[in-house]
Amino acid sequence: MAFEIDNIFKTYQMGGVEVPALRGVSLKVDKNEYIAIMGPSGSGKSTLMNIIGCLDIPTSGHYFLEGEDVSTLKDDQLAVIRNKRIGFVFQTFNLIPRSNIFHNVELPLIYSGLPASRRRKLAEEAIEKVGLSDRIKHKPNELSGGQRQRVAIARALVNNPSIILADEPTGNLDSATGEEIMGIFDQLHKAGNTIILVTHEHDIAEHAHRVVKLKDGLVESDEIVRNGRYAEALQDA
């Protein structure tokens, strides 16, 4: 079991009014699953992603990450969980602009306190996995969008997390580059990683083997789609 979400509610206070974003969501995800979370805006998928990514905690309900209840942790404890167990890939890449590629990828390892030699090795491996070894000294603004997203993926990978959480990872890319990036996620999945895609694009979601659809803060459907176009190709490979 990668994680389990049990009857989670999340309510925001907005000008004295309580606005429910999640109204009792439950979800079990096994190791090495490849899940897409879909839903229109306002469906609560961002809120759910924030909770899965330990950026936020639920108002009620439980979230077990690899068996540990993380739904009541404090800020700094959540920071440790994010650092060690979650790899984020954002729509807007979110790289540190002043730092070069190597340093961007190395950063989570610095926060987990690894010695420099070990950090170098792990960061270089992660960068090699996304095929950017020749750009290691470049700054993010010297790279194309697709390359930046690869850097972000390398950064997500570098701490060997339990979950890779990708929020609209192709939203800022043209479709060809998007496919290229999705190819990397497919590879990562094949290599044994658990991947959560948050998207509203169907052809992106089709890369996943399971699609969870949210609507109005509830799970509307939860389907296994093992016969998706790319899944098929992957199974053949």
Partner 1 sequence: MQSFSDTIESLKIALQAIKANKARGLLTTLGIIIGIVAVVTTMTAANGLENSFKESISVLGSDVLYVSRTPWVHSGRWFEFRNRQNLTLKEADKLKIQLKKAVAVNPLTETRRSIKYRSRVIDDVSIVGTTDKHIVVSSGVPDYGRFLNHYDVEYKHFVCVIGSEVKKRLFETVDPINKKMKVGRYDFRVVGVMEQQGGAGMFGGPNFDMQIYIPITSFMKAFGGRDRDFDFVVKAPSTEALPDFEYELVGEMRKIRKLKPTDKDDFSINQMSTLVAAYNNVMGVVVMIGLLITGVSLFVGGIGVMNIMFVSVTERTREIGIRKAIGAKRRTILTQFLFESSVICLLGGLAGVILSFGVTALINSTVMPASISIPIVIVALAISVLVGVFSGIIPAYRASRLNPIEALRYE
Residues at the interface with partner 1 (CB under 8 A): 50, 53, 55-56, 75-76, 79-80, 82-84, 88, 90, 94-99, 107-108, 110-116, 119, 155, 159
Instruction: Choose between 161 and 228: whose C-beta lies nearer to partner 1.
Output: 161
- Find the shortest distance in angstroms from Cβ 85 to partner 1: 10
Closest to partner 1 by CB, 2 or 107: 107
> Minimal CA–CA distance to 146: which of 210, 199, 93, 74?
93
Q: Find out whether 33 and 226 touch, Cβ atoms under 8 Å.
A: no
Do the bridges between strand 163-167 and strand 194-198 make them parallel or antiparallel, or are there none, so unpaired?
A: parallel
Contact present, 25 and 48 (Cβ < 8 Å): yes
Strands 34-38 and 210-215: parallel
| Helix segments in 130-228, DSSP class H | 145-157, 175-190, 202-205
Of the two residues 108 and 217, which places its CB atom closer to partner 1 in the complex? Answer: 108
Q: At closest approach, how far in Å is the CB of 157 from partner 1?
A: 12
The residue among 90 and 230 lying less far from partner 1, judged by its C-beta, is 90
Query: Would you call 214 helix, strand, or coil by DSSP?
Result: strand
Q: What is the closest distance, in whole angstroms, from the C-beta atom of residue 8 to partner 1 in the complex?
A: 16
CB of 48 to partner 1, least distance (A): 13
**Amino acid in the structure at residue 1:** M
